[in-house]
Structure 1
Amino acid sequence: MSEQPRVTCTIDDNQIATVILNRADKLNAIDMPMFQAVNHLTKSLSRNKQVRAVIVKGDGSDFCSGLDVKSLLTSKTGALKLLFKWWPTLPNDAQRFSVGWRDIPCPVIFAIHGRCWGGGLQLASGGDFRIASPDANFSIMEAKWGLIPDMGGALAFRELMRQDHTLEMAMTAKVIDSQQAKDYGLVTKIAEHPYAEAYKLAQECIERSPDVLAATKKLYHKTWWTSPGLALFLETWYQLKVGIGKNRIIAGKRERRPEDKPDYLPRQFK
């Protein structure tokens, strides 16, 4: 019997993709097959012009308990594969596990319950939104194993948290609850049913043009830490690209005649 896939993905009639970490017996701990499955999936979703939103959740009792230390740290070959870079400024396979979600040109929402630790937290931090259950808990766990967070945390944590809060969590490996995570900026919203709340947010987003969603995401990822001049240039450039698109005309028709909404065309913005 073949081993079940580490990650599954289904796309419903609303073109909302649901991605499930599928290793519940190991608390969705990250091993090499999960790294490979997630990185393959994010590349595939980034090329899919039909998908309007993505929701990521974990099967079983926990979202993700972090690295499967036994399977990864005991294999020097595996660690080298994850850390190897073709070019210093490009992400390696470990970093792509988190930052790959940024390349998907639609909203990516993480629905979190139970443990969200270490690599699991860096994974979730690569999304656009994080909705957590009241009983969820969070940790930058790497210091416990004599490591630093190296899966894209240097990007995500600086955008979400104050520096002192990031240092506190990374230096102590402490575990915090949902409310503190929300106060720190790690969590967007707390909800009793994170997936249902995530789906509701996805439905709100897909009422808008897929080109607007893609352009908005790309604009803020490219300009959040750049110079004012470049930010203003890209804002104008992306507006021109969106403005001449057919979906801009469709958006106007949908607002003028809400009782007879025409469907948006597949995403054209790049």
Structure 2
Amino acid sequence: MTLENIILEQEKGIATIFIHRPDKLNALNKATIQELHETLALIDNNPDVRVVIITGSGEKAFVAGADIAEFAHFSTEEGEQLAAKGQQLLFDFIENMKTPVIAAINGFALGGGLELAMACHFRIASDNAKMGLPETSLGVIPGYGGTQRLPQLIGKGRAMEMILTAGMIDAETAKNYGLVNQVVPQSELIGFCTGIAQKIMRNSPVAIAKAIEAVNANYTSGVNGFDVEIKNFGACFATDDFKEGTTAFLEKRKAEFTGK
């Protein structure tokens, strides 16, 4: 697969994806969404990759939004199709990956960029990051899950304010809101995320995938998250990782998980 809009680096169980459209501040277009989907689909089925970090190329932007020129003249039907396909291919796909995905927000994360970050399992921001959903200033609304995920993360009132004013917030405000977990200097961002990834990789890949599924169930309409937790808890008992984890604990040694 030839990658034109992203750069993929893989080392010691961590896949780092750089969205690389420097002339567009890494704005998302259909081609980039497709590349991300295909790359992430391969990663999610690769047992050698235990954690994914998504970030933007350069120092100015994570993703500064969607590529407006691509859809400025769309019809109602084309707009609906754009949102539906994007959510299916990328945003919902990331949220439901069994491999943990960390958003390393370096600089601007606006519109589709913030929606991409919110689809990841959690977010770390550089101290110069700016976040917002400016779509209403363009006469449209967020279409890649922003109206749904932002209230889940920061509450309805704050989400309404951000969406209706089309304003930006800085990294510290985002942390106070609960939109990002940590704020670090930009020069330390990838290293910090790598450190978290290494902590994740000490644990069972099977259990992590089951935990992601159970947490997401609480935010899925018509699904009882407690039932999913009970089912997934029981399913873990049949895994090699459970046997290894409990045996290692009783033997007072470090567990060596295989992901089976």
**Same fold by TM (over 0.5)?**
yes
Q: Is the 8 A contact 2:96 2:216 kept in 1?
A: no
* Map 1:195-210 → 2, pairs under 5 A: 195-210=190-205
* Map 1:173-212 → 2, pairs under 5 A: 173-192=166-185, 193-212=188-207
| 1:177, distance to aligned residue in structure 2 (A) | 0.4
Give, as a single letter, the amino acid of the residue that structure 2 aligns with 1:117.
L
Whether 1:246 aligns to 2:243 is no
Separation of aligned partners in 2, 1:184 and 1:200: 23
Whether 1:29 aligns to 2:27 is yes
1:216 paired residue number: 211
TM-aligned CA distance change 1:242 to 1:6, over 3 Å: same
Give, as a single letter, the amino acid of the residue that structure 1 aligns with 2:242.
R
TM-aligned CA distance change 1:4 to 1:51, over 3 Å: closer
Count of residues in correspondence between the two structures: 254
Q: What is the TM-score with the length of structure 1 in the denominator?
A: 0.85
Separation of aligned partners in 1, 2:250 and 2:7: 39
Separation of aligned partners in 1, 2:248 and 2:24: 46
Separation of aligned partners in 1, 2:255 and 2:171: 40
| 1:258, distance to aligned residue in structure 2 (A) | 6.3
| 1:25, distance to aligned residue in structure 2 (A) | 2.3
Which of residues 137, 146, 170 in structure 2 aligns to 1:144? 137
Give, as a single letter, the amino acid of the residue that structure 2 aligns with 1:196.
G
Q: Is the 8 A contact 1:54 1:108 kept in 2?
A: yes
Separation of aligned partners in 2, 1:35 and 1:225: 23
124-133 or 229-238: which moved more? 229-238
Structure 2: tracts of 5 or more residues without a match = none
Q: Percent identity?
A: 26
Which of residues 92, 108, 113 in structure 1 aligns to 2:84? 92
Whether 1:155 aligns to 2:153 is no
Separation of aligned partners in 2, 1:249 and 1:199: 28
TM-aligned CA distance change 1:236 to 1:6, over 3 Å: same
RMSD: 2.4
Separation of aligned partners in 1, 2:39 and 2:57: 17
Which of residues 5, 11, 14 in structure 2 aligns to 1:16? 14
Q: Is the 8 A contact 2:217 2:224 kept in 1?
A: no
Separation of aligned partners in 2, 1:10 and 1:254: 32
TM-aligned CA distance change 1:141 to 1:242, over 3 Å: same
Q: Is the 8 A contact 1:139 1:175 kept in 2?
A: yes
Separation of aligned partners in 2, 1:69 and 1:132: 25
1:88 paired residue number: none
Which of residues 96, 101, 116 in structure 2 aligns to 1:103? 96
> 3-state DSSP class of the match of 1:92?
helix
154-163 or 197-206: which moved more? 154-163
Q: Is the 8 A contact 1:83 1:94 kept in 2?
A: no
> 3-state DSSP class of the match of 2:27?
coil
Q: What is the TM-score with the length of structure 2 in the denominator?
A: 0.88
Separation of aligned partners in 2, 1:24 and 1:162: 33
Give, as a single letter, the amino acid of the residue that structure 2 aligns with 1:152.
G
217-226 or 134-143: which moved more? 217-226
> 3-state DSSP class of the match of 2:102?
strand
